[in-house]
Structure 1
């Protein structure tokens, strides 16, 4: 079933929430530049991101204003959220920064998209010398972190497509083929199952699996290899990200043992998900299992990251992150053990926080699957 298109009402609701959160944080407003933030608030994704200023200005006391280059006005007007904003264009030779400055409090403090170009920030500061700016992620980390029901179902659809791609890759031959060949197969399968964009295909065989972000290379996969498969992209505008570890032929007892530790850590972290616990609690729950098994030094990354319009975004499940979980948050749980020069194991699902616990958005079996 096709995803329900987002409407002007959806975008209006998001922009109002942003203004409210900004005010609660002591900010005068929010400045949004091309990238996932602009897509989230307006549905507008410029064909090209250039030196010409495009900026959505959100603040109390005035309607949302989208400032765009004149030559891109038709594209902006065709965006699904265009009816919720006032679009003002500027022609080459006009000072676009002055246009934006006219909408701002000269002494205000604003949250700015992380993807904003430095030249645009500096251009505003040159005109409004007493204005101040802060990263949107650091000041308003919850702005896109809590998903509504439609967003969660898009993420669930992306997750189901990734699950299907994994099930199909199990039937191809691994031994005697390169990691790159398997990676290309995975990318093709994601597209066949509805992904419009493939962001990554990590294929780490044998010792390469001990590098969490190895991606894929020319190494020929051999019988006896453990193979880490981590892949994802965008479907209906929202991300997928799944990791499963397979084995070519029969694994050794040690390999089975390490796999069981990672599987238990992933399950333990998932069972810890519920409203009110902190992000670092999720990391701690899974990490403790691995440390108790004696592999703590070989779990070398955080246990998870948020996902939505991009495959990595807040919240982050990491030590020191005190943000409590709330219903609608979506993030990965992906513990791993990486034994240098030998092999690695990682298991990853995307989960969302419900009123009572957690819901997995990936449901491909997590047992150790054998391939040929």
Structure 2
């Protein structure tokens, strides 16, 4: 059976070693990893099975993680991970959606096998895929263990990307560029919103001539007319009017690495006031980008952006950026640093962010954004789409 691995074994070993180092600092013996991006990061696992119980069990005294998933998905684990077959365990089907059995009893059995019956066990309490039922069942099955919250332990390690990861981020950026180009090309008066969305999704999966794309961790945001005053609206089947504003966000994917990119299209000539508004938004975005360099804090980047807005009497209280990387539903953000006031996270080369500087005011909005990677001397744009207001 051919393996599908996107990284060298040495890179996976380094990731696991970094996690174990942090576990040892916290006195954690065994770490139950449940978040799909973290499972992918540590093992390479990639299959749409995260809606069922699955975990990577990382033990200080066990060389490789043990991946536990539904039995029918063990084939995907054998294909997409570097793990030895003995370290891939299948949960019998009778545990799935059962009213009498818990898949976490099966996982607890693996923990006991690793000598973890009385261990200090870390779990991702804030994870999207670690439910209250999962925690309750594990605590019941391992009553002598000491459970501690290790949420974001892997996420903070993932924050700094390797050169191999950055290569995939650049490719994902190329897909995002192609998606924006497609949206701008097709958006015309009379074209249904759903047909614009369909064309963008086709481009997302098709990718570029060099490499294909994939499904994203979110849906396409296509905010038209009054719905452009909200940041996360979906499309309708209404035709585009002769004069309107479209805010949209696309998500380019390459081997699960996701780059987000937003732009605004004016259908019909914008008013002079709106054109000026777009110029202010772009000026602020550029100021934020120009302030990016290693050693600066996220808060300082936010400050550089905000100073431009303040000169024009505009205030944005929300964060202007979040870290991106491996993307699985429901969120691409790594839930760690934010480009906002008060965040003292220090920028390091290899960190990747979506500088999401969208402005949603009472009567107007605009979304011209830029994904970037922190470099030794500043930043690298991960996309090449011009930072302009598109007018059709």
TM-score by length of structure 1 reads: 0.88
Aligned residue number for residue 27 of structure 1:
28
Which of 246, 249, 263 is matched with 2:265 structurally? 246
Q: For structure 2, list consecutive stretches of 5 or more residues without a partner in the other structure.
A: 96-104
Report how far residue 142 of structure 1 moved.
1.4
Aligned residue number for residue 274 of structure 2:
255
Report how far residue 14 of structure 1 moved.
1.0
CA change 1:336–1:18 in 2 (3 A) is same
Q: Deviations over 1:142-196 (max 9, x none)?
A: 1211111111111111111111222233222421223322222211222222221
Residues in 1 aligned to 2:249 and 2:206: alpha-carbon distance in whole angstroms: 17
**Contact preservation (8 Å) 1:67, 1:100:** no
Aligned residue number for residue 8 of structure 1:
9
Aligned residue number for residue 111 of structure 2:
100
**Contact preservation (8 Å) 1:9, 1:84:** no
Residues in 2 aligned to 1:89 and 1:206: alpha-carbon distance in whole angstroms: 49
Q: Which has the higher strand share?
A: 1
Residues in 1 aligned to 2:85 and 2:162: alpha-carbon distance in whole angstroms: 19
CA change 1:71–1:237 in 2 (3 A) is closer
Alignment of structure 1 residues 117-266 onto 2, 5 Å: 117-126=131-140, 127-137=142-152, 139=153, 141-193=155-207, 194-198=212-216, 199-266=218-285
**Contact preservation (8 Å) 1:287, 1:335:** no
SS at match of 1:82: coil
Report how far residue 211 of structure 1 moved.
0.8
**Contact preservation (8 Å) 2:293, 2:347:** yes
Q: For structure 1, list consecutive stretches of 5 or more residues without a partner in the other structure.
A: none
Report how far residue 217 of structure 1 moved.
2.6
**Contact preservation (8 Å) 2:44, 2:82:** yes
SS at match of 2:322: strand
Report how far residue 284 of structure 1 moved.
2.6
Aligned residue number for residue 271 of structure 1:
290
1:363 equivalent to 2:375? Answer no
Aligned residue number for residue 110 of structure 1:
122
Report how far residue 71 of structure 1 moved.
4.9
Residues in 2 aligned to 1:243 and 1:130: alpha-carbon distance in whole angstroms: 46
CA change 1:251–1:4 in 2 (3 A) is farther
CA change 1:343–1:315 in 2 (3 A) is same
RMSD (Å), alpha carbons:
2.7
Which of 315, 318, 327 is matched with 1:301 structurally? 318
Aligned residue number for residue 342 of structure 2:
320
Residues in 2 aligned to 1:161 and 1:9: alpha-carbon distance in whole angstroms: 28
Report how far residue 86 of structure 1 moved.
3.1
Aligned residue number for residue 358 of structure 2:
336
Residues in 2 aligned to 1:211 and 1:50: alpha-carbon distance in whole angstroms: 29
Report how far residue 121 of structure 1 moved.
2.3
Residues in 2 aligned to 1:90 and 1:266: alpha-carbon distance in whole angstroms: 49
CA change 1:173–1:61 in 2 (3 A) is closer
CA change 1:65–1:135 in 2 (3 A) is closer
Q: Deviations over 1:202-233 (max 9, x none)?
A: 22223221111123234442233222121114
Residues in 1 aligned to 2:348 and 2:368: alpha-carbon distance in whole angstroms: 24
Which of 283, 293, 306 is matched with 1:287 structurally? 306
Q: Deviations over 1:266-315 (max 9, x none)?
A: 1111111111222222223223322331121xx35311111111122233
Residues in 2 aligned to 1:212 and 1:164: alpha-carbon distance in whole angstroms: 22
SS at match of 2:232: coil
Report how far residue 329 of structure 1 moved.
0.8
SS at match of 1:316: coil
Report how far residue 73 of structure 1 moved.
3.7
CA change 1:70–1:169 in 2 (3 A) is closer
Residues in 2 aligned to 1:99 and 1:366: alpha-carbon distance in whole angstroms: 52
